[in-house]
């Protein structure tokens, strides 16, 4: 079975209730041929689900705690995301790893909790600029994969997103050969355990480069940041993926 195509938008800490009008345009303008997911801030998750009203657009969280409940002020459990209508959750994003000190073990524990709650875990991996310059990219990604993916992961409940840290929000992207090299390594590394897992590329994906990126072998979609905030910017990316 071929991996599913997925265009995922990560709104990060952006948006308010008024921004949900963008969802109307995304729902109206999206094409068939790929799955479309938006991960808003947690306070917008349920209002977004309610606004969609059972449409084809998927909604997800941006993080979850590894515990099911408890004294964890400010955190959110995977089951709570699912209860609010989420189908996915982003885990191990470089901003979480850098800003909150999350380790591979933390990401694996969160992914296990997500799977227990019936969510699809989008597990992020990626190298820093220093690691890229040192020539250790593939070693870094391999170690993150080994440490961040729990034993309960399957091709159905897990998505892998490769996001080179130095390309996130900078306008810079690796060249096609660099993206192809990393995605081929990930596909090979997971061929025995997650043979049909979807592999997303993330890092300054926009309408101008989407078609070229989606033509690269083993790229099954994208995890999009800033360009997912407005329908006019996001829909051309969705269309490019649907046509790939």
- Domains of the chain in sequence order: 6-243 (3.20.20.70)
pLDDT by residue, tens only, the chain of 244 residues: 889 999 999 999 999 999 999 999 999 998 889 999 999 999 999 999 999 987 789 999 999 999 999 999 999 999 999 999 999 999 999 999 999 999 999 999 999 999 999 999 999 999 999 999 999 999 999 999 999 999 999 999 999 999 999 888 788 879 999 999 999 999 999 999 999 999 999 988 999 999 999 999 999 999 999 999 999 999 999 999 999 9
Hey, which bits of the chain come out as E strands? 6-10, 35-39, 58-61, 88-91, 120-125, 158-162, 198-202, 221-224
Q: Which residue has the tokens 């999350």?
A: 102
Where in the sequence numbering do the catalytic residues fall?
A: 93, 163
Distance (Å, whole) CA 120 – CA 98: 23
């Amino acid at each position: 079975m071929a991996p599913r195509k997925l265009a995922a938008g990560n709104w990060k800490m952006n948006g308010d209730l008024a921004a949900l009008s963008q969802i109307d345009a995304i729902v109206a303008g999206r094409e068939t041929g790929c799955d479309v997911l938006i991960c808003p801030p947690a306070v917008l998750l349920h209002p977004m689900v309610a606004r969609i009203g059972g449409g084809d657009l998927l909604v997800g969280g941006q993080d979850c705690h590894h515990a099911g409940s408890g004294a964890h002020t400010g955190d959110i459990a995977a089951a709570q995301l699912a209860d609010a209508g989420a189908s996915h959750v982003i885990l191990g994003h470089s901003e979480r790893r850098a800003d909150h000190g999350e380790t591979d073990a933390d990401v694996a524990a969160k992914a296990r909790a997500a799977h227990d709650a019936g969510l699809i875990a989008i597990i992020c991996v990626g190298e820093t600029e220093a690691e890229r310059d040192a020539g250790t990219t593939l070693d870094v990604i391999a170690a993150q994969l080994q440490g961040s993916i729990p034993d309960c992961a399957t091709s159905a409940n897990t998505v892998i997103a490769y996001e080179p840290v130095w390309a996130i929000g900078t306008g810079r992207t690796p060249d096609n050969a660099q993206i192809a090299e990393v995605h081929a390594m990930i596909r090979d590394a997971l061929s025995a355990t997650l043979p049909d897992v979807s592999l997303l590329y993330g890092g300054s994906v926009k309408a101008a480069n989407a078609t070229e990126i989606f033509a690269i072998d083993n790229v099954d979609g994208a995890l999009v940041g800033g360009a997912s905030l407005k329908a006019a910017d996001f829909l051309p990316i969705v269309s490019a993926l649907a046509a790939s």
